[in-house]
């Protein structure tokens, strides 16, 4: 009888043991696929949440008094708008999401407010495109802070006058509990016009990319090579929060995946060992009839390979279904980007059979090394 025929007869004869092994592999592969798929979603979600914390790098004119800046919330000095384009065209890898702003504190309707002009994000062609940060305010429109809208009963669509120029209220900002509540945002070029500062800005905001070592020193060095007459500061709390959260997600994945693989290997090994112990008499008879060690070992390892291949296919399907079903409820901001990772199917079809074969190796060796005379004497 051929090994293949013996293998499928063995599977048919001991269905329960085969099914238990198959269930363990399906569960392990499903967990592996679901965890990896959702880890990718977790990384995207974490990036999005950290991005929503706002910019963490600020570039201002070099002679800015930072004590006054933190007191007033804007730089009294200004610099050319052209600086943001020069920075965007430089091959800098330590920052991205460049947004130029011009801010001034002005008198409006008898109150001091922060008037802020924002330029839509300037793309950096040397970096892969990402969803833009910052505000993209249409020309002729403004966004009004919560306290100002509440105090003056301002509504969306209303026309308001700012320093002699009419604007349409396009959005009322939600309460933030910060100076944004007394701020009016407009397009940079509109605010430059009303402030009489054409072509001028007083800050560039950016987001630090993942870099190692002294992050701020690296950023300052890169920017100084392009804009030597600027000062760079970092909102350290935001930067640390981004870096530590990324590390936490990576450490979690690095722990859970090996743990799943080890538990699966142990479980397959135990099932194979139980199968060997149950079949000691049968193995002894086969050995006594002259069946060699190779065919008997091939029977056990072949069975493990079948379990691994079938379990990999079913486990990939189950794990992907779980990720697509559960993921959007957990990662709501990036739910539409959760998709099957078909590369994992190839890894599963290779890794699961190999893992099962390795887990079955020692029990199979124990089977073929048994002395048939001792086994049959015991029985």
Q: In this predicted structure, what is the pLDDT of residue 293?
A: 65
Mean pLDDT, residues 17-29: 79
Taking a C-beta distance cutoff of 8 angstroms, is the pair 318, 24 a contact?
no
Reading the block at residue 179, the tokens are 């100076």
What is the mean pLDDT of the segment spanning 309-334?
A: 80
Q: Which pLDDT belongs to residue 34?
A: 80
Return the number of other C-beta atoms located less than 10 Å from residue 185's C-beta.
24
Q: How far apart are CA 249 and CA 263, in angstroms?
A: 22
Q: How confident is the model at residue 88 (pLDDT cuts 50, 70, 90)?
A: very high
Q: What is the pLDDT of residues 125-181, one digit of tens each?
A: 888 887 788 889 999 999 999 999 999 999 999 999 999 999 999 999 998 888 889
Instruction: Give the predicted TM-score (pTM) of the model.
Output: 0.60
- Inform me whether the pLDDT recorded for 35 exceeds 80: no
Comparing 14-23, 63-72, 97-106, the range with the smallest average pLDDT is 14-23
Q: What is the pLDDT of residues 265-310, one digit of tens each?
A: 676 666 666 666 665 666 666 666 566 666 767 777 777 788 889 8
How far is 196 from 90, CA to CA, in rounded Å?
29
């Amino acid at each position: 009888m051929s090994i293949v025929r013996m293998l499928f007869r063995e599977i048919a004869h001991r269905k329960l043991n085969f099914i238990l092994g198959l269930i363990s592999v399906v569960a392990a592969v499903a967990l592996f696929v679901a965890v990896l798929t959702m880890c990718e979603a977790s990384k995207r979600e974490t990036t999005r949440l950290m991005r929503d914390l706002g910019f963490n790098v600020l570039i201002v004119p070099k002679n800015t008094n930072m004590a006054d800046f933190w007191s007033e919330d804007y730089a009294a000095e200004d610099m050319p708008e052209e600086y943001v384009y020069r920075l965007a065209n430089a091959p800098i890898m330590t920052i991205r999401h460049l947004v130029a702003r011009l801010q001034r504190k002005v008198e409006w309707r008898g109150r001091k407010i922060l008037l802020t002009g924002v330029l839509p994000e300037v793309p950096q062609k040397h970096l892969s495109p990402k969803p833009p940060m910052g505000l993209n305010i249409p020309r002729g429109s403004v966004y009004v802070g919560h306290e100002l809208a509440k105090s003056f009963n301002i509504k969306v669509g209303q026309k308001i006058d700012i320093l002699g120029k009419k604007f349409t209220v396009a959005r009322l900002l939600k309460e933030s509990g910060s100076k944004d509540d007394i701020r009016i945002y407009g397009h940079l070029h509109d605010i430059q016009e009303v402030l009489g500062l054409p072509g001028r800005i007083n800050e560039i905001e950016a987001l630090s990319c993942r870099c190692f070592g002294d992050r701020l020193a690296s950023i300052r060095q890169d920017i100084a090579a392009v804009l030597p007459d600027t000062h760079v500061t970092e909102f350290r709390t935001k930067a640390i929060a981004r870096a530590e959260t990324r590390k936490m997600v990576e450490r979690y994945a690095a722990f859970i995946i090996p743990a799943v693989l080890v538990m699966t290997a142990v479980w397959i090994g135990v099932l194979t060992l139980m199968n060997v112990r149950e079949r000691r008499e049968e193995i002894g008879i086969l050995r006594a009839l002259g069946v060699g060690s190779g065919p008997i070992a091939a029977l056990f390892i072949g069975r493990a390979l079948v379990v691994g291949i079938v379990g990999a296919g079913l486990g990939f399907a189950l794990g992907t279904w779980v990720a697509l079903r559960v993921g959007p409820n957990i990662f709501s901001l990036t739910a539409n980007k959760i998709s099957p990772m078909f590369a994992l199917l190839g890894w599963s079809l290779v890794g699961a059979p190999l893992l099962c074969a390795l887990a079955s190796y020692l029990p199979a060796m124990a089977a073929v090394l048994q002395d048939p005379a001792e086994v049959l004497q015991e029985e």
